[in-house]
Amino acid sequence: MRKIRIAVLMGGPSSEHDVSIASGKMVCDNLDKERYEVIPVHISRDGEWSVSFEELIDRADIAFIALHGEYGEDGTVQQFLESIGLPYTGSSAKASALGMNKLASAKLFTAHDLNVPAWKEITRYDDWAHFGSPFDYPVVVKPADRGSSIGTSIARNEFYMREALCKVFEVSRTAMVQKYISGREVTCGVLEDEHGNIPLPPTEVFPVKAELFDYEAKYVKGASKEITPAPITKRETEEVQETALAVHRIIDASGYSRTDMIIGNNGQIYVLEINTLPGLDPATLLPQEANYMGLSNSALLDKIIAAAIRRYGR
């Protein structure tokens, strides 16, 4: 049988360019060369593709999206691939855009009776220099449309609130000011197979050098400690997995996803956000969870590709 030709898209003009390169390298290195012909496609920070669109259409059977953040995870590249008729891994353009928009997805999760920390939206065009928190301090301040916790910080008073908003508005037009929930931070992946969506073992994350699981904690070696499976009770594990499945379903995600949550000190589980294209570097969380389940990185990629093939009926 002819090998399936996989175009691996990596890089891109986003704030997560370097993370995407690491994910793309993992994909290229771990795809079964007996089954797949690998076509690496590097996208520069300026948006230049290393392979022409004509060559992509002619050579590739499917695109493996190893992009993160804006452009790759917000529905932009998905819309482009749909326009040229090339199947791709992961969620649709609509689901990707919804997952990336923290305000829209928070409203949706709340409408489906999931717990989400209370929030308020503020834009750079508002009178934010005199903005006071609608909640008791501390609060979490984050961009409404970025991934990997870029621009996210904790504000403990009005001075730090203004500083946090300045940080957000360097990368986004809209900030989400959210009530701080004290508790344990966990994350849980969902992977699609031929039987449906299955939850992976949850992971608990402990930032070592910061107060929260920010960009540095996620990607700088030694900046955080991650334990898979999370050392939580059986009931908490089941509730976290059920929540991850519910979030995946509500967003209408496809193939795989990872949902970040807080187990509050009150025992309730709060949804922070969904990642529709979670990192795939071996040091990142979804591969760790899949590996604990007994899936090699190669087998994980097989399942992601198989889910995309089923979705497109190929």
**Among 11, 12, 16, 30, the one annotated catalytic:** 16
**Among 101, 189, 257, 258, the one annotated catalytic:** 258
| SS3 assignment for the chain | CCCEEEEEEEECCCCCHHHHHHHHHHHHHHCCCCCEEEEEEEECCCCCECCCHHHHHHHCCEEEECCCCCCCCCCHHHHHHHHCCCCECCCCHHHHHHHHCHHHHHHHHHHCCCECCCEEEEECCCCHHHCCCCCCCCEEEEECCCCCCCCCEEECCHHHHHHHHHHHHCCCCEEEEEECCCEEEEEEEEEEECCEEEECCCEEEEECCCCCCCHHHHHCCCCEEEECCCCCCHHHHHHHHHHHHHHHHHHCCCCEEEEEEEEECCCCEEEEEEECCCCCCCCCHHHHHHHHCCCCHHHHHHHHHHHHHHHHCC
**Among 219, 256, 257, 270, the one annotated catalytic:** 219
Specify whether 85 is catalytic.
no
**Among 192, 273, 281, 302, the one annotated catalytic:** 273
Specify whether 16 is catalytic.
yes
Specify whether 14 is catalytic.
no
**Among 36, 96, 275, 289, the one annotated catalytic:** 275
**Among 12, 75, 255, 279, the one annotated catalytic:** 279
Specify whether 275 is catalytic.
yes
**Among 30, 148, 172, 257, the one annotated catalytic:** 148
Specify whether 46 is catalytic.
no
Specify whether 289 is catalytic.
no
**Among 70, 260, 289, 302, the one annotated catalytic:** 260
Specify whether 260 is catalytic.
yes
Specify whether 235 is catalytic.
no
Could you give the residue numbers annotated as active site? 16, 148, 219, 258, 260, 273, 275, 279
